[in-house]
Amino acid sequence: MPNATLPVSSSFTASDGASFPPGAFWLPEEQAFNFSLFSRNATAITLLLYRADDLLTPCLRVCFCLPHNKTGDMWHARLPADRVGDACYYGYSVAGPHRPEDGLLFDAEKLLLDPYARGVFFPPDFDRDAACKPGPTAGRAPLGVLPERTATTPPPSRRPRRHDHDLVIYELHVRAFTRDPSSGVDPAQRGSYAALTARIPYLKALGVTAVELMPIFQRDPLHGTFWGYMPLNFFSPHAGYASDGTVATSWREFRAMVAALHEAEIEVFLDVVYNHTGEDHAGGPVWSYRGIDNPSYYTRAPGLPFRPTNRSGCGNDLDVAAPMVRQLILSSAWFWIEEMGIDGLRFDLASMFSVDETGHINLAEPPIITELSTAAHMRQTRLIAEPWVGDGSLMQLGRAFPGRTWRQWNARFRDDIRRFLRGDDGCVPALMTRLYGSTDLFPDDRAHAARPYQSINYIAIHDGLTLRDLFSYDDPGQIAANCGHQGIDGAPEPVQALRRRQTRNAFCLLMLANGTPMFQAGDEFGHSRGGDPNPYDRDDETNWLDWRQTENESALLRFVRMLIAFRAAHPSIARSVGWRDDVSWHGVDGGEPDLRPVSRSLAFFLRGAAMADDDLYVFINGWDDTLHFALPEVARGGPTPWRSLVDTAAAPPADILTAETATPVSDMARLPAQARSIRVLLRTRPDATIR
């Protein structure tokens, strides 16, 4: 646990306690603990300390007495070590009016968790139901873990180099990544931070340069939300991902994992949920925020009785514009960056941050977005938005999102690529826009000066079908087509062959597009969730990766590895600006592209000279028949021959080759592309040598 960095206190502060920072901190220079808790509407607060051998009866009760232990809305106290004794856990009893119609839910019998706790302990008799109804919860409620008195916070691990054109994001779930016995890690470590560390050589070989961890904030272990999008505490790594399930080990293994990923030159991003909490809908458990000061932490719909808003779709939206909640979010973000060493934050339902203190959408200067964007200590942090809200009422993709420099999950890229691969009408113009860098959403004109890398391009991610399922199940809501057979079992070989080709096509379009590519763990070797687009509560083989697939689908894994390496080797693909005059678009005959609604084909020539790179020619056939492409006049000639490096219709290993193993293309007038396939040609720059 970390120690506080506070100035030496004056005598009255030493006796009364300091109001800032919130939380519980050990002060080594004073050999004392400082406790501080926000509550605007409470009438009395009592700090309760517990020993490990008695989780029912507190070993010390400390009443925060007026006027000494309250400053503004902060209640505080400072306790010398000898008074704390061998206590190791703490919680609060918060008294106040109980008027549900006004949103006031104070109940002094409830044992409440400090929102700033740096560790959460769940007693053996932890009981979710007890927190949902009146009555005491001592011995059945989560407790904060007191900071250690001797440990010092180690410095953050060495940061990896900041990737640019070679940034490839790999989304994974810590437990699902290695929980299956096929993961090959020590059985005692499966599903843990330590197990992920053991699999870093696989990530390095795959070629990804950033991992985005699905939520790892501490959550209720009884809630059943496997994906982690119902956080209980914003400062604690989920202890369930520690190899032994303890708070201390979760800290140690998480930091070791980050350090090891950094040593492998892999950045670490966290998927963070600050828009709602695991206290759930109205009538849910009273664990922390709801009992400490419900109307100060959660937003309400206009009128009486008090009714929480539900933009998040979870029934208890945090009031992210309120100063105390903003401080909570900013403190948490800074904690994960500074103390835990992570490199980026992906904000779940980030459009919730557009709400200002009046409850209205503020696109000019939404408080929390402005503070995150301008804070000096956040300048080197990747800020990534999911630019919409859960109830679908607000979509801010692209320039509509107030964080002008943030990266954003590009759902339009996902949908447009899926439609093209499915064979929908009218997709070629959209395909061109997505490949170019989605300048309709991220315009690069003088007024906006957006960058292509702000577009996080993806086709399949945790929220929806896996890539394999996308081509194995008919699902109109997911823009999915099954290639002629519903489900995976019993699919005839021609159907399986088409699915493999479509999977390679999807990876090709993802890696050939300007922007920042992202894909989910397991898609590179055909992980299936049985067609379930939302198994958020399944802690089983539905979400667990089956590593035997790395052998069964070794050809696909090889293709993805080489494609990622190809993208990294060619900076002309992912640029800091649009391709502009370096790209020309063509049709099958080498002339202008066919933009009619019935069109299913496209080619483009990407010159690499401006980036000291090779030239690329890509032709894409979305038809069910073979097409023969003619090389356009602008791509003819040159000092070196064209070589065919990628052909998604070819049998492995001919589906992807290196420039050294690829032979020159002989007939440049008729370049065949089989049905539903993509080919990539490369012409080396004059100063390059093919061995």
Contact 297, 203 (CB under 8 A): no
d(CA 515, CA 134) in angstroms, rounded, equals 52
| Number of C-beta neighbours around residue 424 at 10 A | 16
Classify the C-alpha dihedral 176-177-183-188 as positive or negative. negative
| Number of C-beta neighbours around residue 92 at 10 A | 25
Cα–Cα separations (whole angstroms), residue 484 to 239, 490, 493, 527: 44, 12, 11, 19
Helix (H) or strand (E) holding 44: strand 44-50
CA nearest to 483, candidates 506, 505, 501, 462: 501
d(CA 103, CA 65) in angstroms, rounded, equals 25
| Phi, psi values for residue 619, rounded to 5° | -130, 140
Query: Which residues contact residue 469 at a Cβ distance below 8 angstroms, ignoring those fewer than 6 apart?
Result: 480, 528, 529, 530, 531, 533
Give the active site residue among 348, 416, 469, 613.
Answer: 348
Q: Is the previous residue joined to 366 through a cis bond, with omega within 30 degrees of 0?
A: no
First to last CA, the chain: 55
For 365-486, list the strands marked E by DSSP: 382-385, 407-410, 455-457
Neighbouring C-alpha atoms within 13 Å toward the C-beta of 385: 28
Neighbouring C-alpha atoms within 13 Å toward the C-beta of 480: 25
Give the active site residue among 212, 279, 293, 386.
Answer: 386
Helix (H) or strand (E) holding 311: none
Note if 424 is an active site residue: no
Neighbouring C-alpha atoms within 13 Å toward the C-beta of 30: 23
CA nearest to 403, candidates 353, 357, 451: 353
Contact 270, 261 (CB under 8 A): no
d(CA 76, CA 63) in angstroms, rounded, equals 10
d(CA 15, CA 275) in angstroms, rounded, equals 36
* Secondary structure class of 351 (helix, strand, coil): helix
Note if 148 is an active site residue: no
For residue 154, give both structure tokens: 């180690």
d(CA 557, CA 52) in angstroms, rounded, equals 49
The catalytic residues are 348, 386
